[in-house]
Amino acid sequence: MLKRWKFIIDNKHLSARKNMQKDKELFESFKDGDTPVFRIYNWQKCFTYGVSQDIKKIDLDYGDDNAKRITGGGILLHGHDISYSIITDTKSLKGMNVKKSYEYFCEFILEFYRFWGLKPVFAKDIESIELSKNIFCQVGFEPYDIIINGKKIGGNAQKRGKNKLLQHGSIPVNHISHPFGGYSLEDIGVHLSEDKVIKELKSSFKKTFHCL
């Protein structure tokens, strides 16, 4: 059975504050019975940081445009990436715990990368990778980070509320000249326009979750 989703495409290169405010508002306003939301968006040059981080203690030369996420994790640089957010109820997850729901929702991202002929895997499934946290998202390795050709490509974070959750993450599209920026599709030889990334992200999501 096809499930109806609300698709939001924000391709205006918004600031960190505006993008994170939109995610927060979508999550906080979501109620039982609402249509789940899949949002795709891009950024100005900026960075976001985890809800528990104190960036005053971190020396980061990346401009003044920044915002706190409602999720955890470390500092993530933006402006070269396309991000997504999923806001939905937890009842439809049929008792999945946080780890299982991560894996479930990340499947569409694996599908997206496979479309371009790549072979993505989760960090947890590679024995040579030591899982570890870092103040910068693209430096540490979480279980459901996505690895291509031995390199971490993007990451994901999740927040749960009463009977609802938000998961968001980023797909690094273009090279970024910063020591904590991580690898991008361009760095592994895949050159895509933002329009192509957005189109295929939506297509991969619809295909994976059989949605309208």
pLDDT, one tens digit per residue, over 4-43 is: 999 999 989 999 999 999 999 999 999 999 999 999 999 9
Reported pTM: 0.94
Q: Is it the case that residue 1 has pLDDT exceeding 80?
A: no
Q: Is it the case that residue 49 has pLDDT exceeding 90?
A: yes
- Residues paired with 159 in a beta bridge: 166
How far apart are the C-alpha atoms of 181 and 94, rounded to whole Å? Answer: 36
Domain 6-209 sits in which CATH superfamily?
Answer: Bira Bifunctional Protein; Domain 2 (3.30.930.10)
- Return all residues near 160 (Cβ < 8 A) that are at least 6 apart: 90, 98
pLDDT band at 58 (very low <50, low <70, confident <90, very high): confident
β-pairing, 66-68 vs 46-49, is parallel
Q: Is it the case that residue 85 has pLDDT exceeding 80?
A: yes
Measured CA distances, 118 to 82, 129, 146, 153, 175 (Å): 18, 19, 11, 11, 17
Percentage of the chain with pLDDT > 90?
80
pLDDT band at 203 (very low <50, low <70, confident <90, very high): very high
How far apart are the C-alpha atoms of 21 and 36, rounded to whole Å? Answer: 18
**Are the beta carbons of 208 and 107 closer than 8 angstroms?**
yes
What is the mean predicted confidence (pLDDT) over 49-69?
Answer: 89
pLDDT band at 61 (very low <50, low <70, confident <90, very high): confident
